[in-house]
Structure 1
């Protein structure tokens, strides 16, 4: 049976035990390994191949870096482990957009590292414009902008204009948050813990990944459902887990790269914790997030049951909410294993711990 009744793929795929990565004790979360079974969308092998081809077609990565690094970065694994039940075309569009997002993050990082504020300003403005009119930017001279326009235009094809407008609103906020991050890093500003947590919800794109649950479920949820605490709470917890676990795993990489945006760095700078104490505090927050999600998940399922009011629309809405909740749960295992399998976090294997081997150090129009 498909993972959900509207999936175009016949089943999900379990992960062979032999391929499961070893997890360092300091980063191991037994509750994830025991209580959050890991699966991949059955479309995943084709997804990986087509996203690799899309990166080449759009010239988003040099061919040699695609060949050497694209599969090992596991970007498609992350999405294929999250949006189970999504129609294949939806998952493909999400995976390509996700790969683009990582590349944008890398460009942003390199523009900071190499002191290219002009290049960043041009990119920021172009992305804001392309988000509102993607069709007009498919041939933009900056391949990152053109690739963004292509991926956004495809995402806009699945649900009504109201969903598209919401996605755009949420991503405009993400672009602005990246600009604040650029300023902080350029000036060595370490945000306070509360400032960091608020910024992180935007730079990690909490509401973008949550929005994408809806085309995966095949329907736009009413505002009254999306904004209900029984839906919003587990959605937020799943994203907070991902952001904070990312901070835990990427702390060595970000210290090596002279970063200022990591919960651990804010805890050391503003709360007076030692590095070891900050790591322990991040881990405590991560584990608390899991515990709270398990409670919120049950509240969400009861909320979904209440939506099934005997009408066709009520039944469809209840089914979609259950599907979204199921994928919020999938996010935990997908994020967890991604961090132990992706070459993005294998700092010890890099020739230079401050320079990822998969990045392009050049910026469009400014080298």
Structure 2
């Protein structure tokens, strides 16, 4: 990784982030609150190794990630956005690794409950019996008290699309299959969670985009480029770990399987793609900032989120080939 103001590296195999790295002044409070909240809700209850999973998850430094993604947010917005993304990250762990192929029915059940919460169809008793569903139910109720209806509707659709594509990815993994390049590019926008993270920029920074602005090409293309740059970079950092777990939904695996590239060639191509997307994202942020407010604040939030994610991915223990407890 290379950041603005740093010496130019000798290697060309470097992701060059054009956005400075910043961290929220609320970082210390966010760290303490996140650890306490996560332990209190005990989302890994029912798992034989619940204590280890909890330690491992906290060791991924989610608070560091969120403090860098939303460095300019006031604490209430930062705190709520961080908890919503923590929930998705935890759910991701369950769907990717914790619920094995023998727990497909349970995974489908929980995904169905979360879908019902987001679409206003949840049955209280069923939700209360599942820690992950109950947690999102509480968070979504809190979110409904501060967010406008048009944002809630749009964000719920984004989350449901994430759930659907994540279940599809489980089937690919169980079958040890690798999606084609076209299948990967389509599904990665949704199961990568970046459209959701982009929506949370509005929540964290109170930059609620009106419906007529959120659908403008200048804004929708921002989310697309942010997703490309972040998920493809994520695939680089997680390549060894995901390959070891049989995950085919990784761009490096897709390129070596379907495009005839060697591992080194795939990595080089992905670095080039990520750098191109980051430069385009920077250009598009300028275009979006010219739209009516709060578009400029949202565009600045996109830059900060991209920078924060890149910094976190390069340093977190989450993508170590053998996760530490």
The TM-score, its normalising length taken from structure 2, stands at: 0.88
Instruction: Sort the Cα spacing of 1:44 and 1:216 in 2 relative to 1 into closer, same or farther, 3 A.
Output: same
Asked which structure has the greater CA Rg, the reply is 1
1:205 partnered with 2:188: no
Alignment of 1:1-367 (within 5 A): 28-29=14-15, 31-32=16-17, 35-61=18-44, 64-65=51-52, 68-110=55-97, 113-133=100-120, 136=124, 140-301=128-289, 303-304=290-291, 307=292, 318=293, 320-347=294-321, 350=322, 356-357=323-324
- 1:294: how far off? 2.2
- 1:86: how far off? 2.3
- 1:198: how far off? 0.7
Q: Distance in 1 between matches of 2:29 and 2:317?
A: 21
**Which residue pairs with 2:3 in the alignment?**
none
- 1:325: how far off? 0.8
8 Å CA contact 1:55–1:61 kept in 2: the answer is: no
Q: Distance in 1 between matches of 2:317 and 2:13?
A: 16
Q: Distance in 1 between matches of 2:106 and 2:19?
A: 42
RMSD: 2.5
Stretches of 4+ moved more than 4 A in 1? none
8 Å CA contact 1:264–1:275 kept in 2: the answer is: yes
Structure 1, unaligned runs of 5 or more: 1-22, 308-317, 351-355, 359-367
- 1:78: how far off? 1.3
SS in 1 for 2:169: helix
The TM-score, its normalising length taken from structure 1, stands at: 0.78
Q: Distance in 1 between matches of 2:134 and 2:312?
A: 27
Q: Distance in 2 between matches of 1:65 and 1:27?
A: 35
**Which residue pairs with 1:315 in the alignment?**
none
8 Å CA contact 1:73–1:342 kept in 2: the answer is: yes
- 1:61: how far off? 4.1
Structure 2, unaligned runs of 5 or more: 1-8
Q: Distance in 2 between matches of 1:101 and 1:108?
A: 10
8 Å CA contact 2:147–2:203 kept in 1: the answer is: yes
8 Å CA contact 1:83–1:216 kept in 2: the answer is: yes
Q: Distance in 2 between matches of 1:259 and 1:184?
A: 8
